[in-house]
Structure 1
Amino acid sequence: MREEYLLAALRMGAGADPVPEGVSASARAVFGLRVPGGVPAGPVDVSVPPGARSSSEAGAAPAGLRRFSADGLVIDVETTVADGHLEVAGQVSPAPGQDARIEVRTPHIAKVRVPSGSGHFAVAGLPPGWVSVVCHRPGHPPVFTRWIHARP
């Protein structure tokens, strides 16, 4: 850390300088990305059965596949970047039922899909970068994944 940054941080901590507007704006933007009343789904290790398509390690899941679990749900999320756009496909297990919806969010836009009867969903045309998936079910709090960084 350079000395000037350390001194600036100390001044800010002491209350001598106002917080720079860029820092305040970023903090407000991050606050807007939260899911009030939601349940965070934690990451779960994913393995595939022998003989299934996988990465270079035997039994390892494909590189873009991540699994999360909370509140009785498992959310599988697979990300790919193709032609400069992010594609997200996944499945919620058990299937979330009628009137459920899946929200695929980036820091800039969100797209909502109705999952299939088996809980599958897909979204294409998102900007590459950070993405999170939220499962909304009537009568239950939303379950959301942590932010995943998807890059080419």
Structure 2
Amino acid sequence: MRDEYLLAALRMGAGADPVPGRVSAAARAAFALRLPGGVAADEVAVAVPPGARSADLPRQGADGSAGPRLGAAEAAPDAPGFHRFTAAGLTIDVEASVVEGRLEVAGQISPWPGPDARVEVRTPHVGKVRSPSGSGHFAVSGLPPGWVSVVCHRPGLPPVFTRWVHVRP
């Protein structure tokens, strides 16, 4: 088949078969999650610090079965746990867990981003904004389990955001 015939067939098919409404709605929702002008923080491998709630959580296997316990130097993807992100001179430590069916997120921004800084903990459905303490700590509870991202808003500077982390009960 020649390229022009294939392109013509694709054009005809695109006009006759509209995009389903749920696909368009999902695309609009995903587009709304972006953060224009923000700086994406890279995740850094780090040992779970002593005292972190996630240090002794059981790992869940892909099939839902219980796996080995999390050690100090490992983290299970898609499991509650400790994550460290860095960008633009900031380190964002995030610990997420599900308690009684609700997501709890605690963390620290270092160095302290200043008195007018705000930390936004986002899910696809709701976001909560906190002022970090003088030591950079923040906490949010009562969120729906699932995807979560943290954004540090500093006056006069672009926001720094973490990748989306999936947290399951």
TM over 0.5: yes
- Structure 2 residue 162 is matched with structure 1 residue 131: no
Aligned pairs (5 A) from 1:100-119:
100-119=117-136
- 1:83-98 matches, within 5 Å, as 83-98=100-115
CA-CA distance at 1:80 after TM superposition: 0.8
Match of 2:158 among 138, 141, 152: 141
TM-score, normalised to structure 2's length?
0.76
Change (3 A) 1:129 1:107: same
Secondary structure of the residue that 1:86 maps to in structure 2? strand
Query: For structure 2, which runs of at least 5 residues remain unmatched after alignment?
Result: 1-8, 57-68
Pick closer, same or farther for the CA change 1:12–1:30 going to 2, 3 Å: farther
In 1: Cα distance, 2:114 partner to 2:98 partner: 29
Q: 2:73 aligns with which of 32, 38, 60?
A: 60
Deviations 1:84-121 (A, max 9, x none): 10000000011111100000001011100000001000
Structure ID, larger Rg:
2
Structure 1 gaps of 5+ residues are 1-9
Cα distance in 1 for residues equivalent to 2:46 and 2:11 = 43
Secondary structure of the residue that 1:75 maps to in structure 2? Answer: strand
Matches within 5 A, 1:21-100: 21-48=21-48, 52-53=50-51, 54-55=55-56, 56=69, 59-60=72-73, 64-100=81-117
Determine the C-alpha separation between the residues in 1 that align with 2:103 and 2:12: 39
Distance change in 2, residues 1:129/1:58 (3 Å): closer
Is residue 153–residue 160 contact of structure 2 (8 Å, CA) maintained in 1? yes
Question: How far apart, in 2, do the equivalents of 1:97 and 1:11 lie?
Answer: 54
Alpha-carbon deviation of 1:59? Answer: 3.9
Superposed CA RMSD in Å reads 2.2
Cα distance change on mapping 1:41 and 1:18 into 2, 3 Å = same
Deviation at 1:13, TM superposition (A): 9.9
**CA distance in 2 between partners of 1:23 and 1:17 (Å):** 13
CA deviation profile, 1:24-78 (whole Å, cap 9, x unmatched): 11000110011110001111001257xx353446541676100111111110000
Across the two proteins, how many residue pairs are aligned to each other? 141
- Any runs of at least 4 consecutive aligned residues in structure 1 with deviations exceeding 3 A, and if so which? 10-14, 52-59
Calculate the TM-score normalised by the size of structure 1: 0.84
The separation in 2 between residues aligned to 1:57 and 1:17, in whole angstroms, is: 48
